Amino acid sequence: MSPPQCPVFIRGEWREINSVATSPVFNPSTGEIIAETPLCAPKQVDEAVEAAAAAFPAWSETPPTERARVLFRFRMLLEENFEEIVRCNTREHGKTLVESRGDVRRGIEMIEFACGVPSLLMGESLENVARGIDCDTIRQPLGVCAGITPFNFPAMVPLWMYPVAIACGNTFVLKPSEKVPLTAIKIAKLLEQAGLPKGVFSIVHGGRDCVDALLTHPKVKAISFVGSTPIARYIFETGTKHGKRVQSNGGAKNFVFLMPDADVENSVRGLVEAAYGCAGERCMAGSTAIVIGDAAKKVLPSLIDAARAIKVGRTDVEQQPNMGPVITREHRDRVERLIETGLKEGAKIATDGRGVKVDGAPNGFFLGATVLDHVQAGMTVAREEIFGPVLNVMRFDDLDSAIELANKSPYGNGASIFTGSGKAAREFKHRIQCGMVGINIGVPASMAWFPFNGWNESFFGDLHMQGKEGVQFFTQQKVTTTRWFSFDEGDIWHREQQR
């Protein structure tokens, strides 16, 4: 029996697209193909965008309170179907059930933020900016917006985008990753059930042809993207070239600093979570440990023991491991090649996750936790985003030289420090060149009310996702300057009266 094909959602209708190529959706725990994703042509993209454009006038005129009520119902439905969505997420992505619950929960928090849109859209006013003249601002929606999302957070990342866009009065076309479309589809069916009018939200699937059709379509006003840095740059350059507003999140190389006075137990726990959570497949992964001075002797033995103790296994079963598989066989092989390259370039392997075997799942895409010690700045593993369960360890004598090295990275998502010193923490916070900083926190990813604040080549654009910047991205300001005359005031009226 052939695996089912994922439907598109256009004009409020779910339907399959025939006569197009497809891409497999795997259960990474077993290697089994569980669905096929159609690779939509520009024709289907155009149909979805035209439907969104047709729905925009009525939706943009819908009062913000009514738009918020749809999102309130949407949130309620997500809570009612929470575990079903979690298990779908785990099945197609491979992350553990605990990690999938976090993925869905963070997405729900974005909906909760968007439900406050009546307050978020409030403008400003000033009376008597000049004599008898008042000025005010309002925020209005852009039109058709589009989102292109990655495989690593099937629930959260799409929910970074369209709840805020829709709450602000825009219509939206989502292109989820062809590797993990099932969670996005399941959540979209709940949005439909919540009462969203037809055409306000659509889903298309595909690869580069589909993406390019969105980037160049004249009726798409804004593009949101999360993915690797080379693609993020392409999305930004192509979208802006075609006159679109773009927010484009790229990759990262995040550093976790360990000072000699850091609490060993809490530091190791935070670092292990940062490096190996979601099998390292996240743009906020703490992929490089910067150990300062005596921290190497104090922390590394416990860190290596903790990495070796991580149980890898199937996540599509009730008995859950500590870490699941990576997304595809090809990705696993790529990470293994990077480990081998690191060893050839002089890194030392402290614990090796290659070749891990999982009972009952010989075809799963498994890779164990790996620690590469004595990594140097020029090595490939130090430069490239590995996006897998590999932790680099770099050793420094002092904080100053470590910060100097970290600030040479072309990326700029996050960096953390574990220390008991307020002075060291303040110095680190002030000097480190990245957008999200953690103090005794392994993963300093911001919550829904604050921007996801990448810098440098981790972000292309002006307004970030989440928080007030997300609202600003999906709206445009209008400034009105007003003066009213009495009938007998002003030169024009005075002259008319004299005639």
18-59 pLDDT per residue, tens: 878 999 999 999 999 999 999 999 999 999 999 999 999 999
**pLDDT of residue 295 exceeding 60:** yes
Question: Over 80: is that where the pLDDT of 486 sits?
Answer: no
441: Cβ contacts below 8 Å, ≥ 6 apart: 270, 416
As a whole number, mean pLDDT of residues 123-150 equals 96
Q: Does residue 496 have a pLDDT over 60? A: no
Nearest to 281 by CA among 228, 233, 344, 216: 228
Element containing residue 125 per DSSP (H, E): strand 125-130
The mean pLDDT of 407-426, rounded to a whole number, is 97
Residue with tokens 């309170």: 65
Mapped onto helix, strand or coil, the DSSP state of residue 111 is helix
Q: Which residues on adjacent β-strands are paired with residue 225?
A: 148, 248
Of 12-21, 232-241, 278-287, 334-343, least confident by mean pLDDT is: 12-21
Q: Which residues pair with 257 in a beta bridge?
A: 290, 417
E strands, 245-296, are 245-249, 255-258, 288-292
Residue 78 above 90 pLDDT?
A: yes
Predicted pLDDT of residue 36: 97
On the question of pLDDT at 2 being above 90, the answer is no
pLDDT for res 18: 85
* Number of Cβ within a 10 Å radius of residue 7: 17
Query: Who contacts 225 (Cβ-Cβ below 8 Å, separation ≥6)?
Result: 147, 148, 149, 231, 232, 235, 236, 246, 247, 248, 249
Among 296, 228, 221, 307, which Cα is nearest to 264's? 296
Q: What are phi and psi of 494, to 5 degrees?
A: -65, -45
pTM above 0.75, yes or no: yes
What is the share, in percent, of the chain residues with pLDDT greater than 90? Answer: 96
Residue 406: enclosing H or E segment and its boundaries?
Answer: helix 399-406
Q: Is 267 within 8 Å of 258 (Cβ atoms)?
A: yes
Angle at 47 (CA atoms; ends 204, 218), nearest 5 degrees: 100
pLDDT at 489 over 70: no
pLDDT tens-place string over residues 426-445: 999 999 999 999 999 999 99
Q: Which residues are catalytic?
A: 283
Q: Which amino acid is at 489?
A: E
